[in-house]
């Protein structure tokens, strides 16, 4: 789709309920890390929710400056490995039914465990993705101990009691469908 200026228009849709904050029963309003108001970020924000057997294990929303900050905290070595993994595996799929990084569908995710990700802007969703538990585990194995400690810190500060195998999942960027780490 192109608009009058010949620019590619990004299809937008209202944020689906599955990406709402489970605890607040409405779209996320503030960034989990910095607490700033999400609708004010022109670049948008990213919502991630980890599900297991239909239950929400973890959910968070991050503004792009925080995503970048988390990426900065990732060691160079880890970043390189994650980028390589994602470049090799990234599939040009969107939506919540196909894993972005392998051939599995959501129904095929081991133990019915997967994460759903949405790139959002104000009340709209611009892009969406799904990552199965096995791909999350593979990514967790690629990162250095230091990076894993940083991820664990983020997790512990925000979600006491979640499983240890959590790794922030990659998603397509809002405009270019390239993988984004952390």
**Positions in the binding site for Zn ion (CB under 5 A):** 31, 33-34, 63, 66, 99, 101-102, 104, 132, 135
Q: What DSSP assignment string belongs to 45-77?
A: EEEEEEEETTEEEEEEEEEHHHHHHHHHTS-HH
In the bound state with Zn ion, the residue whose beta carbon lies nearer, of 104 and 148, is 104
The least distance separating Zn ion from the CB of residue 4, rounded to whole angstroms, comes to 34
Residue 38: CB minimum distance to Zn ion, A = 8
Please identify, using beta-carbon distances, which residue of 78 and 129 lies nearer to Zn ion: 129
Nearer to Zn ion, 79 or 104 (CB): 104
If the CB atoms of residues 56 and 93 are measured against Zn ion, the closer one turns out to be 93
The answer to whether residues 112 and 53 touch, using CB atoms and an 8 Å cutoff, is yes
Secondary structure of 69-110 as H, E, C letters:
HHHHCCCHHHHHHHHHHHHHHCCCCCCCCEECCCCCEHHHCH
- Least Å distance between CB 68 and Zn ion? 10
């Amino acid at each position: 789709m192109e608009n009058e200026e010949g620019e590619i228009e990004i299809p937008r849709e209202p944020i689906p309920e599955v990406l709402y904050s489970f605890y607040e029963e409405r779209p996320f309003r503030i960034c989990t890390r910095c607490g700033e108001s999400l609708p004010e970020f022109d670049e948008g924000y990213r919502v991630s929710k980890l599900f297991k057997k239909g239950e929400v294990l973890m959910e968070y929303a991050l503004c792009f400056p925080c995503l970048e900050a988390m990426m900065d905290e990732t060691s160079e070595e880890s970043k390189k490995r994650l980028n390589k993994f994602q470049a090799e595996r990234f599939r040009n799929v969107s939506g919540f039914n196909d894993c972005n990084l392998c051939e599995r569908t959501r129904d095929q995710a081991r133990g019915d465990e997967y994460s759903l990700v949405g790139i959002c802007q104000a009340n709209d969703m611009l892009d969406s993705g799904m990552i199965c538990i096995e791909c999350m585990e593979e990514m967790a194995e690629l990162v250095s101990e230091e990076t894993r400690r940083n991820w664990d810190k983020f997790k512990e500060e925000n979600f006491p009691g979640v499983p240890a195998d959590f790794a922030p999942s990659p998603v397509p960027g809002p405009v270019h469908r390239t993988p984004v780490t952390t």
